[in-house]
């Protein structure tokens, strides 16, 4: 109910609610108050236009159109609600049939719904109007039954959505019967969209009813609803336009009110507006061509990437949110640097920020952000785009969604060279085939002509790497490149990355949640927590010489093939920090067994030692006095 | 189910040796035929579902019993129902749709006289709706992509909901009032001049155009957040290539999947609009025939409308398959 | 506790054979690990055991009897991969657990049982009225375990129960699995794609590939001296197993 109140908070929702209530009140009181006025025959004023006496003029018997329109509210609303009730009831039966009946009979019902739903409602309504006869009852049945397939389809889709959830499977495994599952699990979870759609449906029924009555197929004299008044009024539209416009406006207002109520409820309940970080395209401003200054400025230095005090800020509901808070690191030519951390630690956003792919709403600030000596903080010029497009290769987590499903793989690779190297179509495609071969895709000519869905997961990821090789990259940024892949395929992709690195001395930034993967592939590891680097150490030291308690816990929390089977696994109590609510002091203090008062007050700086290792901790390398109470303490801490 | 669904694409299926387009064509044709059969049967049953004697209903209570009996005889209504069904199907294949109870004209003649006007109206409205909706939806999608143009989005969404809700016949009445009665700019009845097309086409096209534009916008916004658009950005392609080359085809396929139904509803929308504008098409024919209980004509017109809807749906599916290479595989 | 036996089980979806003549035994009081990659058929086998997937051939026996897939007594229970999908968002965690308790007990008995189960999985029994949305992923997965135990199962099937969890939470759930096995003598079919995880919880392991079981045996033996090429390939692919270059 709390959520439904949010509907009233939007101006549109409020207006729609008030209008709907007004229509309902009018439907109740109008016939009680004004039936006499509506039926009174004024023979002196037949077919007259609007006047002080008759606000909307009179009809061919001299009856007052305005009052007739008000009184017609009840019949119009009643008929619409009756038709909606029929549509919803029949639709619910049809829509839940396949859930209750099981696969085979269900399929038949589905096929029936699919055929019926293909025919527009008005056509079905006409069909049933013929069968049920011209008149109000016939029209109610016609519109109700004509609306049923749509509702059946909707119910079916919603039921299927809930049915696919594991809690339905769990209830079935627990021996709960189908009817009971439907009542306890399925219907409560689909009630909201059903009610919303029924509201919209009622608006639609009101309008359809007016349509049928307007055709003369609905309400018959001497009864009248809005559609009937409209039907009578349109014949005299040149004499008294108000006779058609008044009922027309009434039906429109009522129909819109219900429809907008449904729409704004859907919006208010369905869409959580803020939160999450949207990935959206950057505005690639088309700048006039500039001479490309290739390679200038990085001679002498072997730094490929140089990042100092990088911050990423997003606007939030209660003020700016800063998921990356001052990250400093550098990557040398040919070096492989891993970034590890839990979800929400800012590791992926760091990768997007250094490759200038952060969503437009986000702001990237840095004291220094240089790729091959070029400052990336400047405006998005053609030169910068060419540098990034050819010297930086990106590999994303999900190779299925990272390719455009409607275009051939070869074309998607060739695009890079056509745009950045000015190659023609044929030459660019030739290079694409060559690159596919380079990433060990067999029969690359044929593969280049295929669509992404025809590739297997591992092959897609290799093609994605091949896309990065269309230029001559100095840096590959790979964001969880193997998370979506199977272990054996994961190994092939990691091997490929290693081979590329070796061949051309390409630097690699590998983002992963998997400590084991990073330890295998990388020379150096950056551990991130709550938007900061908390430790920077050689990969070989991860399991043996880590000094930050978070790094040590992270390495010990996941079993590997050498884990001691007699000991319980290390546990990090509590939850990761919410970027919108970063505590003062060390962000890890609440989960840290070593935390002292100082940790909770002062954020430790990232200190560098003589060997070039960095750590941000007030108690680096200390071990907790008593071992972590594995599960006992967990319940309380996590319950907070 | 996770493992089963992930197995499926990698493993050969039935008829894997056949070209996917052939498989798609056969399947789609099968569905069309089944739907056609349902439609034909429903239109046949319509007359038999009407309570009472349709002939008596059409001729009125005062008609002599002998005339009613003769008519029933002529229409074959006294034969066993399966025989009637058989004759009905035979008639359809030979283009014989029976004879009107009222005007005594062959129904096929009535239909062929009236069909062109309706086709013109529906086709023009369809073209106008698509021509307006796609560019509007795409540009608004770009303007209101995540984090942008909150106000534009609100105004547009509200406007399109309102326009999409106004039923075509009310819109027609409004257009008649403004452009016919008040301004007297455009003719409001018949199809005798080019200018007579303007109002009916608008009345029919505006609603679906509003709905379609809204769908295109929503899909465009969704596609612009997709991973592959991020990939296109990572390739540093120009904005135009990203929007038109990468986002648009995907947004259109998604829009067509959702919006296909609205297109076929325009076929049926002609019924009401024709009655507002006294358009000499099938829509005014079916209504007057229902009122005069000329069921033979009603039956035939329902059938023609139904076939039109099925053809539009099939065309939408074929267009989808052309736009989206996965759809031939997605079929089941 | 009784043993769970798969005997030449085949599962097909349309023309796709997801599980192809699998024979496997989960002995009483043991945890058997089932490893394989996505699409190997391991999840399908689990779903077939609890009646969520159709069995086309062979038999699944619990203590020598076919597994009941009708009625309220379900001696075989399952824990699912995604704890965000396996709890009804509109039901309190107490209700979700109570629903799985076999009928025939009073309201008070059920409440006591829910509290006992919550304590068993180290959750505060006072929170039984909480909705799943207020719980973390790890806590939800513990509720899912409690719900499975509420059915008084003889065997529990755990399908990738840690793979949807953040790394810091995985350890706690694995510790709980080991603890339940040690304290209650729980028999479990533990499905995972992660060899290291299986090594940590399971005494026996079976390797599944393309719908078939290619190798099975005691965990330490299979991992130390694999017989089948595919097992060797899997072992070689575990990150960190190679000498780092």
ipTM for this prediction: 0.87
Residue A267 to residue A260: CA distance in whole angstroms: 10
Residue B259 to residue A480: CA distance in whole angstroms: 36
Q: Would the CB atoms of A557 and C168 count as touching at under 8 Å?
A: yes
Give the range of the structural domain holding residue A94, as residue numbers without chain letter. Answer: 2-43+56-271
Residue A561 to residue A556: CA distance in whole angstroms: 12
Residues A331 and A264 in one domain: no
Residues A556 and A623 in one domain: yes
Distances (CA, A) of A178 to A163, A184, A207, A440, A523: 11, 10, 37, 51, 56
Q: What is the mean pLDDT of residues C65-71?
A: 79
- Measured between CB atoms, which of B3, B13, B14 is closest to C18? B3
Supply the pLDDT for residue A211: 87
* β C31-35/C187-192 pair status: parallel
Residue ending a domain, among A271, A292, A322, is A271
What average pLDDT does the structure give for chain A? 84
Residue C158 pairs in a beta bridge with C79, C190
Residue A338 in any domain: the answer is yes
What's the residue count for chain A?
640
Q: pLDDT category, A282, cuts 50, 70, 90?
A: very low
Q: Between helices A187-214 and A121-132, what is the axis angle to 10°?
A: 70
Supply the pLDDT for residue B55: 79
What does the block give as tokens for C44? 């399908």
Residue A435 in any domain: the answer is no
Supply the pLDDT for residue B17: 56
Residues A355 and A466 in one domain: yes
The residue among A50, A107, A115, A119 with the most chain B CBs within 10 A of its CB, best to mutate, is: A119
CATH dotted code for C73-164: 3.40.50.300
Residues A341 and A263 in one domain: no
Instruction: Specify whether the CB–CB gap between C218 and C204 falls below 8 A.
Output: yes
What average pLDDT does the structure give for chain C? 88
CB-CB neighbours of B330 under 10 Å:
12
What letter does residue B30 receive in the DSSP assignment?
A: H
Residue of B nearest to A129 (CA): B290
Supply the pLDDT for residue B66: 84
Instruction: Specify whether the CB–CB gap between A510 and A521 falls below 8 A.
Output: yes
CATH number of the domain bearing residue A362: 3.40.50.300
Residue A525: name the closest of A541, A549, A506 by CA: A541
Supply the pLDDT for residue A528: 95
- Percent residues over pLDDT 70 in chain A: 92
Q: Structural domain boundaries of chain C?
A: 73-164
Instruction: Specify whether the CB–CB gap between B134 and B143 falls below 8 A.
Output: no
Residue A420 in any domain: the answer is no
Residues in chain A with CB shorter than 8 Å from the CB of B161 are 259-260, 263
Judged by average pLDDT, the poorest of A257-271, A393-407, C104-118 is A257-271
Q: Which chains touch A (3 or more CB pairs under 8 A)?
A: B, C
Distances (CA, A) of C200 to A518, A558, A630: 21, 10, 16
Q: What is the mean pLDDT of residues A484-502?
A: 88
Residues A23 and A140 in one domain: yes
Q: Is the pLDDT of residue A264 over 90?
A: no
Residues A159 and A253 in one domain: yes
Count the alpha carbons within 13 Å of C55 in the hemisphere toward its beta carbon.
21
Residue A426 in any domain: the answer is no
Q: Is the pLDDT of residue A389 over 80?
A: yes
- Measured between CB atoms, which of C71, C81, C241 is closest to A175? C71
Supply the pLDDT for residue B1: 35
Residue A264 in any domain: the answer is yes
Which residue's structure tokens are 């085939």?
A: A433
The residue among B39, B234, B319 with the most chain A CBs within 10 A of its CB, best to mutate, is: B234
Q: What is the mean pLDDT of residues C225-242?
A: 85
DSSP helix/strand/coil, C11:
strand
Residues A460 and A594 in one domain: yes
Distance from CA of B14 to the nearest CA of A (A): 17
- Percent residues over pLDDT 90 in chain A: 34
The residue among B1, B2, B3, B14 with the most chain C CBs within 10 A of its CB, best to mutate, is: B3
Supply the pLDDT for residue B327: 63
Residue A439 in any domain: the answer is no
Residue of C nearest to A341 (CA): C167
Q: Is the pLDDT of residue A137 over 80?
A: yes
Judged by average pLDDT, the poorest of A283-292, A469-478, B3-12, B112-121 is A283-292
Q: What is the mean pLDDT of residues A366-387?
A: 89
The residue among C11, C15, C212 with the most chain B CBs within 10 A of its CB, best to mutate, is: C15
Instruction: Specify whether the CB–CB gap between A99 and A163 falls below 8 A.
Output: yes
Residue B106 pairs in a beta bridge with B99
Q: Would the CB atoms of C50 and A184 count as touching at under 8 Å?
A: no
Q: What's the domain count of chain A?
A: 2
Distance from CA of A168 to the nearest CA of C (A): 8
- A169 interfacial to chain C (CB closer than 8 Å): yes
Q: What is the mean pLDDT of residues C64-85?
A: 84
Instruction: Specify whether the CB–CB gap between A401 and B226 falls below 8 A.
Output: yes
Cα B202 from chain centroid?
Answer: 16
Q: Which of A:513-542 have CB within 8 Å of C?
A: 513-517, 519-520, 539-540
Supply the pLDDT for residue A83: 93
Residue A430 in any domain: the answer is no
Q: What is the mean pLDDT of residues A632-637?
A: 40
Residue A545 to residue C93: CA distance in whole angstroms: 42
Residues A94 and A192 in one domain: yes
Alpha-carbon dihedral of residues B163, B166, B168, B170, nearest 10 degrees? Answer: -130
- C192 interfacial to chain B (CB closer than 8 Å): no
Supply the pLDDT for residue A2: 63
- Measured between CB atoms, which of A169, A516, A554 is closest to C239? A516
- What is the C-alpha radius of gyration for chain C, rounded to an integer number of angstroms? 18
Residues A507 and A385 in one domain: yes
CB-CB neighbours of A608 under 10 Å:
11
Distances (CA, A) of C107 to B12, C103, C124: 53, 10, 20
CATH number of the domain bearing residue A11: 1.10.3720.10
CB-CB neighbours of B92 under 10 Å:
15
Residue A296 in any domain: the answer is no
Residues A234 and A336 in one domain: no
CA-based max dimension of chain C: 64
Q: Would the CB atoms of A164 and B1 count as touching at under 8 Å?
A: yes
- More confident call, A237 vs C66: C66
- C23 interfacial to chain A (CB closer than 8 Å): no
Q: Would the CB atoms of C41 and B3 count as touching at under 8 Å?
A: yes
Q: Which chains touch B (3 or more CB pairs under 8 A)?
A: A, C
DSSP helix/strand/coil, B195:
helix
Domains of chain B plus CATH, in order, are: 21-94 (no CATH), 107-329 (1.10.3720.10)
- How many contacts, defined by CB atoms under 8 Å, are there between B and C? 36
Supply the pLDDT for residue C115: 93
Q: Would the CB atoms of B14 and C14 count as touching at under 8 Å?
A: yes
Q: Which chains touch C (3 or more CB pairs under 8 A)?
A: A, B
What does the block give as tokens for B66? 């002998």
Q: What is the pLDDT of residues B240-271, one digit of tens each?
A: 899 988 999 888 888 887 777 777 778 878 88
CB-CB neighbours of A315 under 10 Å:
12
- C40 interfacial to chain B (CB closer than 8 Å): yes
Q: Is the pLDDT of residue A501 over 60?
A: yes
Supply the pLDDT for residue A534: 95
List the helix and strand counts (H, then E) for chain B.
15, 0
Phi/psi of residue A536, each to 5°?
-135, 110
* Mean pLDDT per 10-residue interval, chain B, length 332 residues: 37 52 84 90 85 76 82 78 86 82 84 90 90 92 82 85 85 86 80 83 91 89 90 90 90 80 79 88 88 86 89 85 67 39
Distance from CA of A390 to the nearest CA of C (A): 28
Judged by average pLDDT, the poorest of A332-341, B73-82, C94-103 is B73-82
Judged by average pLDDT, the poorest of B81-90, C143-152, C214-223 is B81-90
Supply the pLDDT for residue B192: 77
Residues with Cβ within 8 Å of A362's Cβ and at least 6 positions away in sequence, in order, are A277, A312, A313, A314, A349
Residues A31 and A171 in one domain: yes
Judged by average pLDDT, the poorest of A469-473, B137-141, C117-121, C235-239 is C235-239
DSSP helix/strand/coil, A283:
coil
Residues A267 and A312 in one domain: no
Q: What is the pLDDT of residues A429-446, one digit of tens each?
A: 999 999 999 998 999 999
Judged by average pLDDT, the poorest of A101-105, A518-522, B16-20 is B16-20
């Amino acid at each position: 109910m709390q959520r439904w109140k949010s509907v009233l908070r939007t101006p549109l929702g409020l207006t729609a609610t008030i209008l709907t209530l007004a229509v309902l009140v009018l439907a109740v009181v109008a016939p009680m108050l004004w039936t006499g006025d509506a039926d009174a025959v004024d023979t002196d004023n037949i077919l007259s236009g609007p006047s002080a006496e008759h606000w909307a003029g009179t009809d061919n018997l001299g009856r007052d159109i305005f009052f007739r329109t008000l009184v017609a509210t009840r019949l119009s609303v009643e008929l619409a609600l009756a038709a909606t009730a029929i549509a919803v009831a029949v639709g619910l039966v049809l829509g839940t049939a396949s859930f209750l009946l099981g696969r085979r009979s269900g399929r038949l019902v589905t096929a029936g719904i699919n055929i019926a739903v293909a025919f527009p409602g008005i056509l079905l309504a006409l069909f049933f109007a013929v069968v049920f006869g011209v008149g109000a009852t016939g029209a109610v049945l016609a519109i109700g039954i004509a609306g049923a397939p749509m509702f059946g389809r909707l119910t079916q889709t919603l039921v299927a959505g809930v049915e696919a959830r594991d809690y339905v499977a769990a209830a079935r495994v627990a021996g709960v019967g189908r009817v009971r599952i439907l009542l306890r699990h399925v219907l409560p979870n689909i009630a909201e969209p059903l009610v919303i759609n029924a509201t919209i449906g009622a608006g639609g029924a009101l309008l359809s009813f007016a349509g049928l009555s307007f055709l003369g197929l609905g309400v018959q004299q001497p009864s009248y609803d809005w559609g009937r008044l409209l039907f009578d009024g349109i014949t005299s539209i040149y004499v008294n336009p108000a006779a058609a416009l008044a009922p027309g406006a009434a039906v429109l207002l009522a129909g819109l009110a219900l429809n907008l109520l449904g729409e704004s409820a859907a919006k208010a309940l369905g869409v959580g507006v803020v939160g999450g970080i949207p990935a959206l395209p950057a505005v690639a401003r088309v700048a006039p061509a500039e001479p490309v200054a290739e390679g200038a400025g990085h001679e002498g230095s072997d730094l490929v990437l140089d990042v100092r005090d990088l911050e990423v800020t997003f606007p939030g509901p209660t003020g700016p949110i800063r998921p990356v808070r001052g990250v400093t690191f550098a990557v040398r030519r040919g070096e492989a640097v891993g970034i590890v951390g839990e979800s929400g630690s800012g590791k992926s956003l760091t990768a997007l920020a250094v490759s200038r792919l952060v969503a437009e709403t986000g702001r990237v600030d840095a004291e220094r952000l240089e790729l091959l000596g070029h400052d990336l903080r400047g405006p998005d010029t053609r030169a910068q785009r060419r540098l990034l497009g050819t010297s930086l290769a990106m590999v994303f987590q999900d190779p299925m969604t990272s390719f455009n499903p409607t275009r051939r793989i070869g074309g998607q690779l060739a695009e890079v060279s056509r745009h950045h190297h000015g190659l023609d179509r044929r030459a660019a495609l030739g290079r694409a085939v060559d690159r596919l071969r380079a990433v060990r895709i067999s029969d690359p000519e044929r593969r280049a002509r295929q669509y992404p869905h025809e590739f297997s997961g591992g092959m897609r990821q290799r093609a994605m790497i091949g896309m990065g090789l269309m230029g001559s990259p100095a840096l590959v940024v790979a964001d969880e490149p193997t998370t979506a892949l199977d272990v054996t395929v994961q190994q092939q992709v990691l091997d490929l990355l290693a081979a590329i690195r070796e061949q051309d001395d390409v630097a690699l930034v590998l983002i992963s949640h998997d400590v084991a993967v990073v330890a295998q592939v990388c020379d150096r590891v950056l551990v991130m927590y709550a938007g900061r680097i908390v430790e920077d150490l050689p990969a070989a030291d991860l399991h043996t010489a880590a000094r930050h308690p978070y790094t040590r816990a992270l390495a010990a929390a996941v079993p590997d093939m050498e884990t001691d089977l007699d000991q319980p696994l290390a546990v990090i109590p509590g939850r990761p920090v919410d970027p919108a609510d970063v505590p003062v002091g060390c962000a890890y203090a609440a989960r840290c067994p070593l935390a002292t008062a100082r940790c909770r007050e002062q954020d430790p700086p990232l200190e560098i030692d003589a060997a070039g290792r960095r750590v941000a901790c007030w108690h680096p390398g200390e071990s907790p006095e008593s071992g972590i109470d594995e599960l006992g303490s967990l319940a309380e801490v996590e319950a907070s | 189910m996770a493992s089963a669904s992930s197995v499926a694409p990698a493993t050969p299926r039935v008829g894997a040796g056949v070209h996917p387009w052939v498989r798609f064509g056969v399947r789609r044709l099968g569905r069309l035929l089944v739907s056609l059969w349902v439609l034909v049967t429903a239109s046949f049953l319509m007359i038999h579902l009407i309570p009472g004697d349709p002939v008596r209903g059409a001729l009125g209570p005062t008609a002599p019993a002998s005339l009613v009996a003769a008519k029933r005889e002529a229409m074959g209504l006294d034969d066993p129902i399966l025989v009637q069904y058989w004759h009905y199907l035979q008639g359809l294949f030979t283009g014989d749709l029976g004879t009107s109870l009222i005007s005594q004209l062959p129904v096929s003649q009535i239909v062929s006289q009236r069909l062109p006007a309706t086709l013109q109206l529906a086709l023009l409205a369809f073209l106008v709706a698509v021509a307006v909706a796609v560019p509007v939806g795409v540009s608004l999608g770009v303007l209101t992509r995540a984090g942008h143009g909150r106000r534009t989005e609100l105004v547009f969404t509200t406007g399109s909901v309102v326009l999409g809700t106004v039923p075509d016949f009310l819109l027609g009445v409004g257009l008649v009032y403004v452009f016919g009665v008040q301004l007297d700019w455009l003719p409001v009845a018949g199809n005798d001049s080019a200018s007579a097309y303007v109002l009916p086409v608008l009345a029919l096209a505006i609603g679906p155009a509003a709905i379609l534009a809204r769908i295109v916008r929503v899909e465009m916004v969704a596609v612009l957040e997709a991973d592959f658009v991020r990939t296109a950005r990572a390739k540093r392609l120009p904005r135009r290539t990203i929007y038109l080359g990468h986002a648009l085809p995907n947004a259109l396929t998604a829009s067509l999947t959702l919006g296909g139904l609205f297109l076929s509803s325009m076929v049926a929308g002609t019924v009401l609009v024709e009655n507002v504008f006294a358009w000499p098409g099938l829509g005014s024919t079916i209504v007057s025939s229902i009122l005069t209980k000329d069921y033979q004509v009603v039956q035939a017109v329902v059938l023609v409308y139904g076939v039109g809807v099925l053809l539009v749906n099939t065309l939408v599916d074929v267009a989808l398959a052309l736009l989206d290479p996965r759809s031939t595989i997605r079929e089941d | 506790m009784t043993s769970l036996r798969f005997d030449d089980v085949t599962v097909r979806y349309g023309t796709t054979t997801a599980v192809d003549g699998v024979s496997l035994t989960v002995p009483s009081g043991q945890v058997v690990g089932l490893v394989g990659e996505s699409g190997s058929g391991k999840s399908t086998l689990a779903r077939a055991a609890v009646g969520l997937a159709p069995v086309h051939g062979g038999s699944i026996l619990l203590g020598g009897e076919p597994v009941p897939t009708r009625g309220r007594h379900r001696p075989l229970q399952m824990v699912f991969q995604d704890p965000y999908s396996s709890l009804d968002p509109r039901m309190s965690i107490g209700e979700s657990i109570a629903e799985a308790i076999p009928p025939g007990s009073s309201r008070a008995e059920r409440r006591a049982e829910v509290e006992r189960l919550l304590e068993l999985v180290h959750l505060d029994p006072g929170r039984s009225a909480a909705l799943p949305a207020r719980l973390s992923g790890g806590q939800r997965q513990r509720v899912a375990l409690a719900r499975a135990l509420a059915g008084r199962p003889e065997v529990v099937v755990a399908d990738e129960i840690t793979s949807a969890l953040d790394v810091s939470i995985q350890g706690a759930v694995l510790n709980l699995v080991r603890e339940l096995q040690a304290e209650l003598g729980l028999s479990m079919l533990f499905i995972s794609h992660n060899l290291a995880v299986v090594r940590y919880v399971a005494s026996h392991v079976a390797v599944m590939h393309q719908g078939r079981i290619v190798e099975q045996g005691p965990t330490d033996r299979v991992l130390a001296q694999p017989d089948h090429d595919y097992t060797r390939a899997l072992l070689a692919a575990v990150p960190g197993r190679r000498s780092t270059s």
